[in-house]
Structure 1
């Protein structure tokens, strides 16, 4: 497998970035929903938010890297059986996912820094609080953070359903390309 994209396949970097973001977003959603119900006496009361914030900051860095990779590395061509509405829908869903993920990370930052305290990044260094003291900053950012996270999960579910539709109903290589698998229609000599 190539590390860069080709005209017909995604490369290792694009595949790894895609799945790292997917697994991280699902993990952060589960952790976030679980940690809001922790009581002060829970042994995870302080550690769960620490991990959620640190991983969220790491996700921000990976998202920036993924956007840069996408901008400077050509994507594989659309498969010939993809209809125009499918290509437009896919582009719209991808754009919305990126936008909403950035809104989630930024709103999480605004929640965490509302009182003027920075955010520890895995205990290695602190990301400073740059925007604080907005009216009801933590509450408003918290609402945005929660509802955007729910919307991202719904949109990611739609994205996954589209991939499964292509794989099982259309029997094309859309999902196989993002899993790094050999296309169905190529032999070893053609690759």
Structure 2
């Protein structure tokens, strides 16, 4: 159940997917909320500390997820050829935007040369700092790429629901139940189209 198969996702991929999704949504909400905090607000320093700490953990999880995906088979995709092509492009966009958001966040925090404390347990060093307008440029990139990520993620979720409720494919169940990776791929009641993810 840990590994992917051509029929479904393994437990490692499923856990990384849902934990990353929840963390990224929480980071977006927290990031939006904390921009309105005043200097004397009790969360003025605490909210960015949480944001940076979780952000670094999500960056590590994303790199691990990409490494795992590189050595694991990708389950067969559902839908028409156009839907499979759009799904492939959508997944690429999601990963690129995740990396842009996370790396730009890192660059904001390390602009002055200080590392990032991750919940006080360890520090991520400032490998890149003191670039011209680093914090400003990275901040702009961070915000707009985060908005784009939320929009693409919403489209991704809607596509999964469309496959589940309209097409009756088991795409959504495969990302919930790792035992699906041991079953034949397709609709819950009849065969479906197959193709590359």
1:18 CA drift (Å): 0.7
Superposed, 1:9-158 pairs within 5 Å as 9-79=8-78, 82-158=79-155
Matched, 1:178 2:175: yes
Task: Pick one of 157, 161, 182 that aligns with 1:160.
Answer: 157
Distance 1:28 1:86 in 2: 29
Distance 1:94 1:7 in 2: 17
Q: Secondary structure at the match of 1:179?
A: coil
1:7 CA drift (Å): 2.5
Deviations 1:67-115 (A, max 9, x none): 1111111122224xx2111111111111111011111111101110111
1:6 CA drift (Å): 2.3
Deviations 1:16-47 (A, max 9, x none): 11101110110000010011111111111111
Q: Which ranges of structure 1 fall in alignment gaps of 5 or more residues?
A: 187-191
Deviations 1:108-152 (A, max 9, x none): 011101111111011012112122222211111100000000000
Distance 2:90 2:189 in 1: 27
Distance 2:131 2:21 in 1: 32
4+ runs deviating over 6 angstroms: none
TM-score by length of 1: 0.91
Q: Secondary structure at the match of 1:126?
A: strand
TM-score by length of 2: 0.88
Q: Which ranges of structure 2 fall in alignment gaps of 5 or more residues?
A: 181-186, 191-197
